[in-house]
């Protein structure tokens, strides 16, 4: 959508399903800065970092379970969920590491002479996601508070919050991933920065 509406800029999309801010420390993302030499970076990460989990997806137990046959997984999860609840302290990326990852990446952007980094805040989840994960709203607020601090430390950072409505009409059936209407909201907010 941005390519269609902002013609004078070449946008390069680099996305990864289930990505967290940990990947900003991967050599690939650091190399992207030197390989592409972007004048600007648009960063949209956070929900996979901050979502309260039954079990961290980065844990050995989770990875081993993922390799098990579906039948085993289908028996395991209902039993496990009877004894273990989601927790604000059980996220894939702790709030401290989230902040560290972002600061480390922004320092790399500074060294690479990136002129502006636009950060899209973690979207406010819709009711469908909140019903499935009642702690998620609180966690999103905590992690977004880190984003709010960054422009004070890094003057080249702009933070936007295009999906702050928390309404299912902007999301796919899971109440979180943007549908066409949600993506349009994000695009329109970004487009204002290029007017």
For residues 47 and 123, is the Cβ–Cβ distance under 8 A? Answer: yes
CA 94/CA 121 separation, integer angstroms: 17
CB of 123 closer than 8 Å to CB of 174? no
The pair of three-digit structure tokens given for residue 64, joined into one six-digit string: 């081993």
Q: How confident is the model at residue 35 (pLDDT cuts 50, 70, 90)?
A: confident
Digit-coded pLDDT (tens) for 130-170:
999 999 999 999 999 999 999 999 999 999 999 998 889 99
How much is the pTM? 0.90
Determine the distance from the C-alpha atom of residue 170 to the mean position of all C-alpha atoms in its chain, rounded to a whole number: 16
Identify the structural domains of the chain with CATH numbers, from first to last: 2-52+89-193 (3.40.50.1110), 54-86 (no CATH)
Contacts of 94 (CB under 8 A, 6+ apart): none
pLDDT of residue 30: 65
Q: How many Å apart are CA 102 and CA 25, to the nearest integer? A: 9
Is the Cα dihedral 173, 174, 175, 180 positive or negative? Answer: negative
């Amino acid at each position: 959508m941005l390519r269609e509406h902002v013609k004078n800029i070449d946008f390069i999309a680099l996305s990864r399903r289930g990505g967290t801010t940990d990947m900003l420390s991967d050599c690939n993302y650091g190399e992207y800065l030197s390989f592409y030499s972007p004048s600007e970076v648009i960063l949209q990460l956070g929900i996979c970092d901050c979502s309260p989990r039954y079990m961290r997806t980065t844990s050995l137990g989770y990875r081993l379970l993922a390799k098990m046959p579906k039948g085993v997984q289908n028996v395991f999860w209902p039993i496990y969920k009877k004894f273990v609840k989601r927790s604000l302290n059980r996220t894939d990326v702790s709030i401290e590491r989230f902040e560290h990852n972002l600061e480390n990446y922004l320092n790399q952007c500074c060294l690479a002479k990136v002129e502006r980094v636009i950060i899209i805040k973690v979207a406010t989840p819709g009711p469908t996601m909140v019903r499935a994960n009642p702690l998620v709203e609180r966690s999103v607020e905590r992690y977004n508070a880190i984003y709010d601090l960054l422009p004070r430390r890094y003057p080249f950072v702009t933070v936007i919050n295009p999906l702050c409505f928390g309404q299912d009409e902007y999301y796919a059936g899971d109440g979180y991933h943007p549908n066409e209407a949600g993506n349009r909201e994000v695009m329109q907010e970004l487009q204002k920065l290029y007017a």
